């Protein structure tokens, strides 16, 4: 057993740790709870970490308690605990998740905001009177010198899916067209399904299975160009998704019909995961069909 004098000596040594080293330790903690505990150790630690950025969890599951209360629960997948937050800022708004731990709020006045439930930071985006299906961020807007670009996929006339982009603080969305479709509703008869920010570029995919690269987003003439054609024998009309797997950009799709089950609507994953490399080489990796999640 350690003596009382030994314990006091150890505490004194830790209290005199160099500021740079303490900040470095705090920067790699993956939990706001750990940061708060470090600031409670002593006055010198609290002073050293006063301006230290807190690493809020990037991946959480958000649960609503129910009723008309302002309380929301967030489940941290890394710590396996629930945190309860009072969030009147998102009351009477439609909200959903987005990358880097941000919520997107869309209220009755069609105002759209990025809201961080942990830091309470908020950024305004241009109004949109349409139903937004998805927002994709290029970078955390709270990062120093952040030049965040936000892509939106939204429903337009006759439920056509459009794609547009903006930056926090912009006054209007800039709709992108592709394949000679000047109104931005996709390439001809096909619709936009998904978009992703990958290795410094934005990519989009159509339900035709085609992959598109978006260029010159910071310039005067942004455009969408073909990056990869649809896979061979691809049946259009499926819902396609883009995701990063290591150093690879991949696409998978969800088929509302199952050929093996007499076309029952089961929303199962397609058999193939498509890997697209930087030189547009395409390989098909056979993966097990996913009937459901959970």
Q: Report yes or no: 192 and 162 within 8 Å, Cβ to Cβ.
A: yes
Sign of CA pseudo-dihedral 139, 143, 147, 152: positive
- The sheet with strand 103-107 has its strands ordered as 93-97, 103-107, 112-115, 122-125
Residue 165 has pLDDT above 90, yes or no: yes
| Beta bridge mates, 264 | 258
Sign of CA pseudo-dihedral 37, 43, 48, 52: positive
Mean pLDDT of the chain: 75
Task: Note whether residue 86 is domain-resident.
Answer: no
pLDDT tens track for 53-71 = 766 666 677 776 554 566 7
Task: Note whether residue 162 is domain-resident.
Answer: no
Task: Note whether residue 79 is domain-resident.
Answer: no
Closest CA to 79 of 114, 115, 125, 32: 32
Query: Quick count: other Cβ atoms within 10 Å of Cβ 154?
Result: 20
Q: Tokens for 17?
A: 């740790």
186: confidence class by pLDDT, cuts 50, 70, 90: low
Residue 238 has pLDDT above 80, yes or no: no
Task: Note whether residue 135 is domain-resident.
Answer: no
pLDDT at position 67 is 47
pLDDT at position 5 is 52
Q: What percent of the chain has pLDDT over 90?
A: 15
Task: Note whether residue 128 is domain-resident.
Answer: no
Q: Tokens for 256?
A: 């509302």
Rounded distance between C-alpha atoms, residue 271 and residue 274, angstroms: 10
189: confidence class by pLDDT, cuts 50, 70, 90: low
User: Pick the residue with more confidence: 289 or 178?
Assistant: 178
pLDDT tens track for 69-113 = 667 877 777 667 777 778 888 888 888 887 777 888 888 888 899
264: confidence class by pLDDT, cuts 50, 70, 90: very low
User: Pick the residue with more confidence: 75 or 185?
Assistant: 75
Q: Which of helix, strand or coil describes residue 138?
A: coil
Across 120-277, the runs of DSSP E, i.e. the strands, are: 122-125, 131-137, 150-155, 161-166, 174-175, 192-198, 201-206, 211-215, 223-228, 239-245, 248-258, 264-269, 272-276
Average pLDDT over residues 138-142: 85
Task: Note whether residue 58 is domain-resident.
Answer: no
pLDDT at position 284 is 47
Residue 15 has pLDDT above 80, yes or no: no
268: confidence class by pLDDT, cuts 50, 70, 90: very low
Residue 198 has pLDDT above 60, yes or no: yes
Residue 277 has pLDDT above 70, yes or no: no
Average pLDDT over residues 176-191: 64
Q: Report yes or no: 6 and 12 within 8 Å, Cβ to Cβ.
A: no
pLDDT at position 215 is 93
Task: Note whether residue 101 is domain-resident.
Answer: no
pLDDT at position 97 is 80
Q: Report yes or no: 138 and 202 within 8 Å, Cβ to Cβ.
A: yes
pLDDT at position 38 is 79
Task: Note whether residue 126 is domain-resident.
Answer: no
Q: Report yes or no: 168 and 156 within 8 Å, Cβ to Cβ.
A: no
| Beta bridge mates, 96 | 104
- The sheet with strand 60-64 has its strands ordered as 60-64, 71-76, 81-86
Point out the least confidently predicted range of 1-5, 104-108, 225-229.
1-5
Average pLDDT over residues 121-144: 86
pLDDT at position 271 is 40
Whether pTM exceeds 0.75: no
Structural domain for 25, as ranges: 4-48
CA distances from 108 to 20, 43, 135, 160, 263 (A): 47, 46, 18, 22, 39
pLDDT at position 209 is 87
pLDDT tens track for 19-51 = 888 888 877 776 677 777 778 778 888 888 777
Say how many domains are in the chain.
2
Closest CA to 73 of 81, 53, 82: 82
């Amino acid at each position: 057993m350690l003596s009382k004098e030994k314990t006091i000596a150890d505490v004194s040594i830790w209290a005199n740790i160099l500021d740079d080293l303490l900040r470095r330790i705090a920067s790699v903690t993956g939990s706001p709870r750990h940061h708060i505990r470090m600031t409670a150790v002593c006055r010198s630690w609290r002073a050293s970490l006063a301006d230290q950025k807190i690493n809020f969890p990037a991946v959480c599951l958000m649960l609503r308690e129910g009723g008309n209360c302002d309380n929301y629960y967030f489940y941290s997948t890394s710590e396996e605990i629930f945190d309860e937050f009072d969030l009147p800022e998102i009351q009477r708004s439609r909200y959903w998740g987005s990358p880097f731990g941000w919520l997107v709020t869309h209220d009755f006045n069609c105002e759209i905001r990025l809201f961080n439930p942990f830091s309470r930071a908020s950024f305004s985006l241009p109004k949109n009177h349409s139903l937004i299906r998805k927002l994709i961020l290029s970078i955390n807007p709270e990062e120093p010198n952040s030049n965040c670009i936000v892509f939106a996929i939204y429903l337009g006339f006759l439920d056509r899916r459009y794609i547009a982009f903006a930056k926090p603080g912009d006054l209007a969305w800039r709709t992108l067209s592709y394949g000679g479709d000047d109104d931005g509703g996709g390439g001809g008869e096909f619709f936009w399904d998904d978009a992703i920010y990958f290795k410094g570029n934005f990519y989009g995919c159509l339900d035709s299975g085609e992959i598109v690269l978006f260029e010159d987003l910071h310039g005067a003439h942004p455009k969408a160009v073909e990056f990869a054609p649809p896979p061979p024998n691809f049946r259009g009309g499926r819902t396609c998704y883009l995701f990063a797997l290591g150093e690879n950009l991949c696409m998978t799709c969800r088929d509302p019909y199952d050929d093996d089950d007499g076309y029952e609507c089961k929303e199962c994953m397609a058999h193939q995961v498509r890997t697209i490399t930087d030189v547009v080489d395409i390989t098909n990796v056979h993966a097990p069909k996913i009937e459901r999640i959970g």
